[in-house]
Amino acid sequence: MRSIIDIPDLSLPELDALMDTAEDIIRRPGDYAEVCRHKKLATLFFEPSTRTRLSFEAAMYELGGNVISVAGADASSVAKGESVADTVKTVSCYADIIAMRHPKEGAARVAAMNATVPVINAGDGGHAHPTQTLADLLTIRREKGGFSGLTVGMCGDLKFGRTVHSLLSALCRYENMRFVLISPEELKVPSYVKSECLKRNSLPYTQVTDLESVIGDLDILYMTRVQRERFFNEEDYVRLKDSYILTPDKLRKAKADLCIMHPLPRVNEISVAVDTDPRACYFKQVLNGKFMREALILKLLKEAGTL
Amino acid sequence: MTVDSIQNGTVIDHIAAGGGMKLYHLLGLEKADVPVAIMMNVNSHRLGRKDIIKIDGELALDFDVIGYVDPDATVNVIRNGTLLEKKQMVLPERLKNVLRCKNPRCISGSEQELPQLFVLTDQSTKEYRCYWCETRAAKL
Ligand SMILES: [Zn+2]
């Protein structure tokens, strides 16, 4: 039974095919409105993530399917006594496919091993959240027409941000990309991420601490949150935080077709005034996430022989 | 120093010096009900200095553990005072219930009867990662 725990579970042709399906759904939604008729998606959310759960549920409804859901207080009561293995074995009896969010890292792998239906990891602690990366990839492809020749800036907390590491490793599978890694010294990309992605594929990259000095070079700017608790002292945080907040003023030097991304939710790292800028793509990312979840549900149900 | 030669048992030889005690603990030999001898810093043509473990009696050993601690070690199986078999160790692809995942958020810490499983992710650096959460194992 094929499940998706993390992005490396998908080959490059599979990633491209998922994006093709998503774009086809966008073009011809009517053709997909009944494809999952009488099929059920179970959303098991052992920790709250309303936006991800809604995205999966909306995706299944748009395919004409149904949703059964365990979330909030119910999920924590399930989580108390029962193992992940037993929970997914039970839910496999009711649903054709499962999307699971769990606070423990590796929980999705345990679920996939025990379920008798496909499992999609909707986030397992700090480990993986592949459908976020799928949303990011589709956004870049739709905005830029492909991945070749792009200069991608990643800005903010590049040390702890799993979305950044996951996107970076996915983009490194495409050729002819350049990266600009923009972060305070304290929050640079870990060396193992650099050696596993950038160096292994010998992709050019630069590391800088200042966003404004490089913003003009970028085709993509992926913003992430710089959290106060990541700093040793308050002074460093106060000194640095403003340099990683995107404002209309900083954007004056940027390309006219820059694509500004953010995994959301944002706290204050992108000024609200940027939202009306046509280069702001973060709400498009949300929409693209729903389409990629549709494509993934379809793919896994087909492979399982359910469709 | 001499240790009586054994009639039935196992001699783990050519352990790089310093590895003997680690191997003793990881194999759980402190709980063995047969005599066990560790010799450390023995002169060796091949290694300069080496450690040796002699187990006097039949005992099931996890060869993956030996390969993990020292893939260059050799295991000599002795039966009736003669060498029955000489096994060459290799770095194992997987380690089951040998290492414990140090990540407090790992599912292996809370899920009932889930084995502690580590997989070899980099042969050259002997890097193992938790199969569940992908956290790196501490270096030996
Ligand atoms: Zn682990």
C-beta atoms of B132 and A110 within 8 A: yes
Report ipTM for this prediction.
0.91
Domain assignment present for residue B61? The answer is: yes
Q: Identify which of A83, A103, A125 has the shortest CB distance to residue B111.
A: A83
Same domain, B84 and B112: no
Instruction: Please tell me whether residues B101 and B39 are part of one structural domain.
Output: no
The whole-angstrom distance between residue A295's C-alpha and the CA centroid of its chain comes to 14
Cβ neighbours of A76 in B, within 8 Å: none
Judge if B67 and B81 occupy the same domain. Answer: yes
Residue to mutate among B111, B118, B129, B131, with most A CBs inside 10 A, is B111
Q: Which residues, in sequence order, are bridge partners of residue A222?
A: A154, A261
- Identify whether the C-beta of residue A125 lies closer than 8 Å to the C-beta of residue A102: yes
Ligand 1 midpoint to CA B129 (Å):
8
Q: In residues, how long is chain B?
A: 140
Considering the domain architecture, whether residues B29 and B80 belong to the same structural domain is answered as yes
- Beta carbons within 8 Å of A55's beta carbon, 6+ residues apart: A131, A286, A289, A290, A293
- End-to-end C-alpha distance for chain A, whole angstroms: 14
pLDDT in tens, chain A (307 residues): 899 999 999 999 999 999 999 999 999 999 999 999 999 999 999 988 999 999 999 999 999 999 999 877 667 666 667 899 999 999 999 999 999 999 999 999 999 999 999 999 999 999 999 999 999 999 999 999 999 999 999 999 999 888 999 999 999 999 999 999 999 988 999 998 999 889 888 999 999 999 999 999 999 999 998 877 777 788 888 877 778 999 999 999 999 999 999 999 998 899 999 999 999 999 999 999 999 999 999 999 999 999 9
Is there a catalytic annotation at residue A129? yes
Same domain, A232 and A278: yes
Cα–Cα distance for residue pair A150/A8, rounded to 1 Å: 21
Q: Are residues A138 and A246 in the same domain?
A: yes
Tokens of B12: 């783990």
d(CA A220, CA A170): 15
> How does residue B3 score in pLDDT terms, banded at 50, 70 and 90?
low
Mark whether B78 and B124 lie in a shared domain: no
Between CA A159 and CA A162, with CA A160 as vertex, the angle to 5 degrees is: 110
Judge residue B80's burial from the number of C-beta atoms within 10 Å of its C-beta, 0-12 exposed, 13-18 middle, 19 or more buried. exposed
Euclidean distance between CA atoms B97 and B110, whole angstroms: 15
Interface contact A109-B131, CB threshold 8 A: yes
- Residues near A115 by beta carbon (within 8 Å), at least 6 away in sequence: A1, A3, A88, A89, A91, A92, A98
- The structure tokens 């990891």 sit at A121
Tokens standing for A279? 């280069």
Asked whether residue B22 is domain-assigned, the answer is yes
Same structural domain, B70 and B119: no
| Residues of chain B positioned with their CB less than 8 A from the CB of A126 | 105
On whether both A151 and A80 belong to a single domain, the answer is no
A293 is catalytic: no
Phi, psi of A163 (to 5 degrees): -65, -35
**Contacts of B50 by beta carbon, 8 Å cutoff, 6+ apart:** B13, B14, B15, B16, B17, B41, B42, B44
Best probe of the A interface among B132, B135, B136, B139, by most A CBs < 10 A, is B132
Clarify whether residues A119 and A134 are in a common domain.
no
Instruction: Please check whether residues B36 and B102 belong to one and the same domain.
Output: no
B130 CA distance to ligand 1 middle (Å): 5
Q: Looking at the structure, do residues A114 and A192 belong to the same domain, yes or no?
A: no
Q: Which of A105, A114, A124, A160 to mutate to test the interface with B (most CBs of B within 10 A)?
A: A105
B117 lies in the same domain as B68? no
Task: Write out the residue range of the structural domain in which residue A276 sits.
Answer: 130-285
Contact (CB, 8 A) for B134 and A192: no
A1 within a domain of the structure (yes/no): no
Instruction: Give the 3-state secondary structure of A98-120.
Output: EEEEECCECHHHHHHHHCCCCEE
- For residues A135 and A242, membership in a common domain is answered with yes
Q: Chain B: nearest CA to A82, how far in angstroms? A: 9
Question: In CATH, what number is assigned to the domain containing residue B17?
Answer: 3.30.70.140
Structural domain boundaries, residue B29: 9-88
Rounded Cα distance between A233 and A250, Å, is 26
The C-alpha of B105 sits at a distance from chain A's nearest C-alpha, in angstroms, of 5
Tell me which DSSP letter residue A156 carries.
S
- CATH number of the domain where residue A37 is located: 3.40.50.1370
Number of folded domains that form chain A: 2
Q: Nearest CA to A113 among B114, B90, B17, B89? A: B114
> What does the alpha-carbon distance between residue A298 and residue A65 come to, in Å, rounded to a whole number?
11
Q: At what angle do helices A282-303 and A130-144 cross, to 10 degrees?
A: 120
Residue B46 is assigned to a structural domain of this protein: yes
d(CA A59, CA A53): 10
A85 contacts in chain B (CB < 8 Å): 111-112, 114
Residue A242: φ, ψ to 5°: -65, -30
Q: In total, how many domains does chain B have?
A: 2
